[in-house]
Structure 1
Amino acid sequence: MPARCPAAITLALLLLAAWASPGQAIYADQAGQHDWLQQHVGRVSLAAFAAKPRARLFVASRAGAVAALSLKDGSLLWRRVLGEGDAATALQAAGARVLTLSGGGAQLTAWDAATGAAVWAANLAGSSDLAGPDAAALAVVADGKRSLAVAVAAGSAKGFDAVTGELLWTASLPSTKSAAAVKAAPAAAGGAWVASLQPGASRLAVDLVSPTGELVSSIVLGAGAQLSSTQLLLTEAAVAALSADGTQLCSAQLEQGGGSGSLGCQALASLLPPGTATEGAHLVAGTCSQHAALRVAGGAAALALGSGSGAAVTAFVPGAAASGCFRGAAGGQQVAFATPSAAGLETRVLSAADGTAVEAPVSVAGLAPQRVSGKLVGVAELFAAPLNMGGSQAVSQLAVFDDDSLALVRGGAQAWLRHEELASIRDLLFTDLPAPTPENEAQWLASQPSLRQSLAAQLVALKVQASRVGSLPLASPEELRQLERHKAVTSDKLRPTRDPDGFRKQLVVLTAGGKVLALHNGDSRLLWSLDFGPGAGLRKLALWRVPHDVQHDIEVVALAASPDSVTATVMNAHTGKILQTLTAPASQAAGAADGAPDVLPLSQPVHDGTADQHVFVVAPAGTDGAAAVLPDTPAARAAFVAARPGFAFWRVDEVAGAVRGYGFTESGAVEERWSAVLAPPAPAGSSATQQRILALAAHTPGEAVGSPARVLGSGELKFKYLNPNTLLVAVGEPRGARSGHSGGDDSAAAGPRLTVTLLDAVSGRVLFSQTHEDATGPVHAVLSENTAVYHFWGSEAHRWQVASVELFDASPTTLRVSDLAFSETNTTTSSWDVPPIEAGAQTFLVRHAVRGLAATRSARGNTAKQVMLLTTTGQVYLVDRRLLDPRRPIVAPGQKPTPQQAAEGLPPYQPELPLQGPMFATLDRQVARLSGAAVEAAVLESTMLLAAHGLDLFYTRLTPSRSFDMVPDDFPYALLVLILGGLTVATVVLKFITRRTAVKAKWL
């Protein structure tokens, strides 16, 4: 009996180890534990409120998104992203359909209001038939019990059934052909008004089309001044336009019957209150019959249009933004106003007829955004409509701020706020969170569940684990929801402090609008934000100062460059407090071409005893200009002087098709050291297609290299050529450059070529070069260790292709494997050494079109390398570096690899890279308009953090070599305690039985 106890314990431990081992897939309740996706729409330019069939808000953005938002919490109900470079120019809600004009006004699309599915679409005109996006218009009119979509473009109006998309009629409107601006609006008597303005004209043509497509009347209205083609407004009974110089407002009432008439024009200076700044005047479209809104630099006004003496101002609010005029719930025509103030966004609703208050002014304290300079962030657009929600009738106002954020105000209170500025991230940086302190730990513990609640959650977790074994749903849906809530509250990933494994960090992002925000990587919550504004010219984020101890805060810097200086704004990464602003001059030599200076980091920070201070060198444009350092301290200047002999950088001369290398003289002046003309301009009169520099790629600074050599299957050592100054330059033709090309030039007959060259950025020496026949751009490339990978289009194969190049140092060496294992070796190669280089290259077919390439990196470089393909479909696909290895062996079908080939671990060569679902880092998510990705190594070697951004923002963890140095997150701790407790009880019982049996044996 005693001999069975160790066997039972061993078996139990083996079963437990098998249970806890990492698997190939994740369970349903594990999805989303370490990844999240923030979906955005971007800067909203159009909006429509809908009360039926459900109360919703439909928006269209400059980024090309069409979406439905919940009026309750602002959540994204559905979203559709148009093609690259496309955006909606008109948006109308028509019951169960949402109608948009896109493609420059040439495409009419109907979306299902509930699901966002495209129901029907119609082409209105060719892309060359329209003078611009303002040359097409859309209106929804009533035709009995159905809604009629009237679309006007390129000399005709078409009537569609809004629900089915059936084309009901087509009407010829010659006045709209070649027009610079076209507007359409429902007519009070039925049908639709159509107003058009020819380029540079001072007369408006207005046509009335009946619901059956008949041209009822045509009117020509003249003005005494040239009219603006972008400031034309049409209502049910009036038309208005601003003069081309923006100083006059011209308007007239609309009546049936043909003929000609005139527009009553008035100077804005006399129409508005004295002293009002009238710059930037524009008309705001609405749904009223004879009223509209006007916005100028000094404020906003409600207008009565087309009276006998012209337009009249019925209300004016200084410093405000105005919505379009809308019909109130109880009748009457109203205009909403929003005024930014330090106390909050002040909102009010006034009658457009007499300016009386419909809703009294209310300040929304939560909406008082300010820039760093103290200037208030203005309201760029305001949309409003009366809606009945929750049994109360009130005007809902949607404010689009100048920083791209989006807020809904209802009943004088903030309903929700969306940070749409995150849809335009320019740079992204990972930094550590603050260290644990008694204060933040106490705050965290106070938010945690009680012991009783934790025990109940562990019991539910046991039921879930047992369900996986027996395939029986032991846990009820409500218990599963409680378990999910418990996980969300207790998850360590949400702690506000850093962890020893380096998993909890914050994402510091810089947006195109000049805003810097910090997000927690656990759940993407906003930690702090600073708005510098687009005028600050911020273009890059970087670490500034990293303390040696964890009790002090990390500092980051935002860099901005102008032709004559560089500004560095230093911020506390944990609080967002601005610590200092430094300026370095960028003195240029006389006659130097205009351009921003280069801001170059030194490869190693300066150790000042308490922290690592990162140093940046400011290299002015041109040559002979004196360099400056940031910060301008003795230690920083000494570090630059020490690094100056080997310090090098490069610039691209697009006109000459050259890459030029630069360095610094002993006096600190910029000097040109080498030049490589790789894409010389075509001779004058030549019919050859111009070669261009399509892509450049360089190493990521500070990349960790696990080993300087590779061990082949034969036991031979191959030493990597690890030169951090390697530069890849791709020269060729952009895709489609030869469309319509004619001529008998020999180079044209030979087909396009793509030449990829690897250069030493210090000396300009060519390390490797190869040419791909029948290949064009776009080209995307990445360098990692001794490998270069680039992606291009193969014209002959009509497929996307990926090529890889590996460089090895072919110098003879006496280094042994034991030296690599037990001694410290150098993992870089000097640019001044000229060793013989052995190169291997291979090309593969790939299914993905990409927007960029990147490479994973770990803390020490020992984790398996992967190349990240940032696909045009908005996903990040991981390719194992072994699949891109040029040395992949060729194995005949039906044969096995040789022992040496198998020992090296390379898969047999195949012309096409395999497509494997588990290799999508974004899982089943899509990052719309994916534009970039940032990778940060965790403290644990196995794990790295990935953030991909575009219109959306996605975060996840990557473990290319599996989590070999950590316990899985779904480790069944409760089961472990149960097994150990059971083994303890079994041990006690067995010991008692053994002793009793021994006593009985002695009495026998």
Structure 2
Amino acid sequence: MQEKWLLPALSLALLLGTCSALYEDQIKKFDWRGVNVGALKQSRVDLNHFQPRILVTTYEGVVASLCVKTGELVWRQVLEQKPRGDVKLLQVSGFADDSSDTAAAPMGSNMGFDMLTVQGHAPALVRGWNTNMGALEWEWSIMPMNTERAQDAMWIYSKSVLYHVLPAWRSHLEVTAYFASSGHSTGSTSKVIAPWITSESCTLSGTFYVCTDGKQLISLDLVSKSGQVIRTSLEAEPKGKTQALTGLNGVVIVDGKPISVNKDQSICGDLRSSSFAVGSFNYRKVLAYADLSSGILRINALYLDNCAPAAELEQSLPFPEHFGTPSLSNFDCKQKRNGEGKNCLFLFSSTSESIVAVQHGRVRWSREESLANVIDSQFVDLPLADTEGTLENEMKGKAGDIASAFLRRITTQAVQIRSLFLHVIGLGPPPTDTQRAGLVRDSFGLHKMLVLLTRAGKIFGIDNVSGKHHWQLHLPNVIGFANDEQMRLIVQRSAKHFPLQPLCTILGKNAVSGNGVLYRFNPITGKVAEGGLVQLDYRIKQLSLLGETEKDFLKGILLLDASNKVHVYPEHAAPLADGMYLYTADLKTAELAGYFVKYAGGQLSSTHIWNARLGGHNSEQQIIGVAGKNPIEHVHSQGRVLGDRSVLYKYINPNLVAFVTQAPDSTHKSVLNLYLVDVVSGSVVFTMTHRKVRAPLSIVHSENWLAYSYFNEKLRRTEITTIELYEGKSQANSSVWSSLQAPPMPLVERQSYILPTIVEALRETITERGITNKHVLIGTASGSIVEMPWHLLDPRRPIASTTQGREEGAIPYIPELPLPTESHINYNQTVARLRNIYTAPSGLESTCLVVATGLDLFVTRVAPSKTFDLLKEDFDYILISIVLVALTSGSLIVKHLASRKLLKQAWK
């Protein structure tokens, strides 16, 4: 009997011994990740497959499958960077325009596919995918003879053949056919003379190449052997660009109206809509169309065989404003389980880069894909609870005397006791919306509202602890500035000034007029504040943030327009702009200009005071990087103690900005130049040149040091150079820095290191008081975020170990920098297409809040000097309580015994 249970017990013990996992406090406790795919480009909804799925390609170069019920990712494949990863064709087996098309391969071949994609142009990659697992099954490539024209190439899939269409504008079309599964050419390239084709007026609709020419459409059937030119008359000259209607061969959309140039494909009547999609219902082809009017989305459909309305598909539903304007991408229908009717799922893309699924007359689920293109971020403090806010407001009040302060304190505490009693018996005031949502400041300032601004003009308010989306807004027709400058998100007032509400402002450009736009809102609730959207009558050239006003603790925004006139918003903060300095930089010409702002007679004016040209004598250099210091940064220590106990004072110039230029060179291929410029006086403090290096460039500037990474073309590796600036062993001015009094030129320490990976982003950690050690966060091309201590990047690392170096704690110089896995703050939570890292201080001096943005979103916190101001979670409170009670009791007992002993001695 014992032998019967011996073998199962032994097997269980072996299984338990091989189990390994992370502890709960090691993963996803202080961090979270959002996974995205990007703005929708093409889609196929398939509800009748044995595994219902939604297959999509996006403008970010992603191929993915979404769950029909929830919209969650089933699988995702992130392709190469653009232009190599730009998907030009998506073909799913069973979704061809012609019913005779098939994706099956010949008998015995392994070159069939569930889904086929064509991406890039030089070379073009044709890939076959397994849609159940997202696995790549095969691929082949084409390298065009003329790579300059290859980016305009288009692709057609018809009857297991891929057609490569290469236009030569205003000349001809070159059409080459390949077997889709193998890549073998079916014959020679055919040339079709077409002198009317242009890039602005032509599109490809199935096998028809269609162009607009005045009041007519000129089209060619590229597969037909006749090569006949088809001309179709239009009622009026098109106002917008012609678009193809996916799913119907030879049908295009002209100003919202579908028009067929294919005699075998008819279109029903005078139909107009903002978006169309083709699908099937009851085994018949259906043309569905959707329009948004007064916040109501209406979906209608027609049978293509008899133009009769498909009443079963008609739906009407309220469409949230923050989704923007919808565009119908694809749809499919499935028989209900009870056999009565069918369920249809409509998939929409929108101007806010959202993916929205509509079913049964309501929004079933949505994906906020604009988060794949975050351009600015701010951590905003949460408001206090009402009772805590009242107490803090009382503490800030200026008491006239002790008696009045004491009376006010007693009154405040009496009100708090009354509120507590009413809350206990259930008669207290109801909680506010922010309190009900849990948006209340914690004791350590770790819980904040993460406000994100995206490229599509969408703004999100996200809980940085849980990742919950509390609110979202969309700004239509608001884009970034010139010189590829993105929109800006500025915090004008934080939540620290109770009872005043916090205030944020978005600055951008009107997409129609080009003038500036301001949008002001409450970052905690997402509601409009202080007038909301403000349309300016001038173009914004430069902007800066002023100091706080004593009236309402509001930081004004200083704006420089295209005619170099100065404006302040709000206007009552104009006196604070007196004596301010601004600079502008032209990225293409590498020209810098400095301006002085003066306030006199109630008016603001600007004076051009300096100019600098970094482009060289032939203006070939272009600015590829600009890095200033963080305006909220605090420098705790102004010097560095050397081994001989002397102090080397830091060169802490708050007006110092780093500019990096790049230019081609006939000898060295590419030259990278670094300039450190004082933007108040216009003086160049330091310059450095790197030959045979090029972008990608990442740069971070803090305190008295600078770090930037680049690619060394000569040695084919990524390097990072660090620079430290010092005044010397005597300090010119320890209290106030002035760029106008000719400060001494700094002593410069520099060093370069080798990194084993490509760097995509650099950012320094920042804390509230600047006491904590500085670390540099390195975002790599593989999606990892590495926390690098500054003492490893220190340019003063000695070549050999010396006594003075050991006294300073400097590590001997080694050119290779290791990236150990324990330094990866996102462990296995890879951030695809990592672009930027943002940091912000928390209420704890030891802790820095971090958000990494790219295709994915990752939020966490780091403690560069460990959590020296916070007790550990496994701290033994019971033991320390017992010790304290024992010490207190012991002291009282000893005191009593000592007093008795003294009394006895006194009686002797």
TM-score, shorter chain, exceeding 0.5: yes
Q: CA deviation at 1:804?
A: 1.3
* Alignment partner, residue 449 of structure 1: none
**Are the equivalent residues in 2 in contact too, given 1:874–1:930 (CA < 8 A)?**
yes
Partner AA of 2:385 in structure 1: P
* Alignment partner, residue 593 of structure 2: 660
Change over 3 Å in CA distance of 1:138–1:255 after alignment to 2 = closer
Q: CA deviation at 1:438?
A: 8.9
Indicate yes or no: 2:114 matched with 1:97.
Answer: yes
Indicate yes or no: 2:550 matched with 1:598.
Answer: no
Indicate yes or no: 2:822 matched with 1:918.
Answer: yes
Partner AA of 1:518 in structure 2: G
**Are the equivalent residues in 2 in contact too, given 1:140–1:149 (CA < 8 A)?**
yes
**Are the equivalent residues in 2 in contact too, given 1:728–1:756 (CA < 8 A)?**
yes
* Alignment partner, residue 233 of structure 1: 205
- Alignment partners' CA distance in 1, 2:221 and 2:718: 59
Residue from 561, 567, 572 that aligns with 2:522: 572
* Alignment partner, residue 276 of structure 2: 322
Q: CA deviation at 1:586?
A: 7.5
Partner AA of 2:120 in structure 1: G
Residue from 370, 378, 393 that aligns with 1:421: 370
* Alignment partner, residue 396 of structure 2: none
- Alignment partners' CA distance in 2, 1:246 and 1:751: 47
* Alignment partner, residue 503 of structure 1: 446
- Alignment partners' CA distance in 2, 1:33 and 1:263: 64
* Alignment partner, residue 291 of structure 2: 339
Indicate yes or no: 2:778 matched with 1:806.
Answer: no
Q: CA deviation at 1:784?
A: 0.4
Q: How many residues align?
A: 780
Change over 3 Å in CA distance of 1:428–1:350 after alignment to 2 = same
Indicate yes or no: 2:304 matched with 1:352.
Answer: yes
Residue from 623, 632, 639 that aligns with 2:571: 632
- Alignment partners' CA distance in 2, 1:814 and 1:227: 62
Secondary structure, counterpart of 1:360 in structure 2:
helix
1:393-792 equivalence runs, <5 A: 393-436=342-385, 495-535=438-478, 539-546=487-494, 548-561=496-509, 566-579=516-529, 580-581=531-532, 596-602=540-546, 604-608=547-551, 611-621=552-562, 625-633=564-572, 636-641=573-578, 644=579, 647-654=580-587, 656-665=589-598, 668-682=604-618, 690-733=620-663, 737=664, 748=667, 753-792=671-710
* Alignment partner, residue 184 of structure 1: none
**Are the equivalent residues in 2 in contact too, given 1:247–1:278 (CA < 8 A)?**
no
TM-score, normalising length: structure 2: 0.78
**Are the equivalent residues in 2 in contact too, given 1:709–1:720 (CA < 8 A)?**
yes
- Alignment partners' CA distance in 2, 1:502 and 1:612: 20
**Are the equivalent residues in 2 in contact too, given 1:565–1:597 (CA < 8 A)?**
no
Deviation per residue, 1:898-956 (Å, 9 max, x gap): 3x433322222111212221222332223222222211100101111111112222211
**Are the equivalent residues in 2 in contact too, given 1:69–1:77 (CA < 8 A)?**
yes
Residue from 845, 867, 871 that aligns with 1:967: 871
Deviation per residue, 1:575-618 (Å, 9 max, x gap): 2222214769787xxxxxxx74211112x22221xx42111111
Partner AA of 1:787 in structure 2: W
* Alignment partner, residue 939 of structure 1: 843
* Alignment partner, residue 714 of structure 2: 796
- Alignment partners' CA distance in 2, 1:814 and 1:649: 25
- Alignment partners' CA distance in 2, 1:692 and 1:130: 23
* Alignment partner, residue 407 of structure 2: none
Partner AA of 1:47 in structure 2: S
- Alignment partners' CA distance in 1, 2:388 and 2:646: 57
Residue from 302, 306, 309 that aligns with 2:263: 306
Secondary structure, counterpart of 1:902 in structure 2:
helix
Change over 3 Å in CA distance of 1:381–1:439 after alignment to 2 = farther
* Alignment partner, residue 265 of structure 1: 232
Q: Percent identity?
A: 25
Deviation per residue, 1:782-809 (Å, 9 max, x gap): 2100111122233333322111111112
Partner AA of 2:319 in structure 1: L
- Alignment partners' CA distance in 1, 2:462 and 2:824: 24
Q: CA deviation at 1:358?
A: 2.8
Q: Which stretch has the larger CA shift, 148-157 or 573-582? A: 148-157
* Alignment partner, residue 466 of structure 1: none
- Alignment partners' CA distance in 1, 2:782 and 2:458: 27
- Alignment partners' CA distance in 2, 1:640 and 1:260: 69
Q: CA deviation at 1:130?
A: 8.1
The runs of 5 or more residues in structure 2 that have no matched partner are 1-20, 94-102, 104-112, 166-173, 390-434, 482-486, 890-908
**Are the equivalent residues in 2 in contact too, given 1:802–1:843 (CA < 8 A)?**
yes
- Alignment partners' CA distance in 2, 1:629 and 1:584: 14
* Alignment partner, residue 16 of structure 1: none
Secondary structure, counterpart of 1:48 in structure 2:
strand
Secondary structure, counterpart of 1:346 in structure 2:
strand
Q: CA deviation at 1:390?
A: 6.3
Deviation per residue, 1:131-165 (Å, 9 max, x gap): 45563424264xxxxxx46454564322244xxxx
**Are the equivalent residues in 1 in contact too, given 2:328–2:349 (CA < 8 A)?**
yes
- Alignment partners' CA distance in 1, 2:878 and 2:210: 77
**Are the equivalent residues in 1 in contact too, given 2:497–2:553 (CA < 8 A)?**
no
* Alignment partner, residue 59 of structure 1: 56
Partner AA of 1:267 in structure 2: L
- Alignment partners' CA distance in 1, 2:585 and 2:562: 12
**Are the equivalent residues in 2 in contact too, given 1:566–1:597 (CA < 8 A)?**
no
Indicate yes or no: 2:56 matched with 1:36.
Answer: no
Change over 3 Å in CA distance of 1:128–1:502 after alignment to 2 = farther
- Alignment partners' CA distance in 2, 1:574 and 1:557: 13
Residue from 828, 831, 838 that aligns with 1:927: 831
Partner AA of 1:637 in structure 2: A
The runs of 5 or more residues in structure 1 that have no matched partner are 1-24, 142-147, 180-196, 202-225, 271-276, 372-376, 441-491, 588-594, 684-689, 742-747, 816-824, 989-1004
- Alignment partners' CA distance in 1, 2:622 and 2:448: 41
Partner AA of 1:93 in structure 2: V
Change over 3 Å in CA distance of 1:779–1:417 after alignment to 2 = closer
- Alignment partners' CA distance in 1, 2:491 and 2:279: 50
- Alignment partners' CA distance in 2, 1:792 and 1:923: 25
TM-score, normalising length: structure 1: 0.71
**Are the equivalent residues in 1 in contact too, given 2:144–2:150 (CA < 8 A)?**
no
- Alignment partners' CA distance in 2, 1:268 and 1:134: 29
* Alignment partner, residue 178 of structure 2: 158
**What is the alpha-carbon root mean square deviation over aligned residues?**
3.8
- Alignment partners' CA distance in 2, 1:977 and 1:811: 51
Change over 3 Å in CA distance of 1:864–1:387 after alignment to 2 = farther
Secondary structure, counterpart of 1:340 in structure 2:
strand
* Alignment partner, residue 212 of structure 2: 244
**Are the equivalent residues in 2 in contact too, given 1:345–1:368 (CA < 8 A)?**
no
Partner AA of 2:375 in structure 1: R
Partner AA of 2:845 in structure 1: E
- Alignment partners' CA distance in 1, 2:797 and 2:336: 64
**Are the equivalent residues in 1 in contact too, given 2:673–2:689 (CA < 8 A)?**
yes
Change over 3 Å in CA distance of 1:955–1:390 after alignment to 2 = farther
Change over 3 Å in CA distance of 1:81–1:780 after alignment to 2 = same
Secondary structure, counterpart of 2:494 in structure 1:
strand
Indicate yes or no: 2:757 matched with 1:848.
Answer: yes
- Alignment partners' CA distance in 1, 2:142 and 2:88: 14
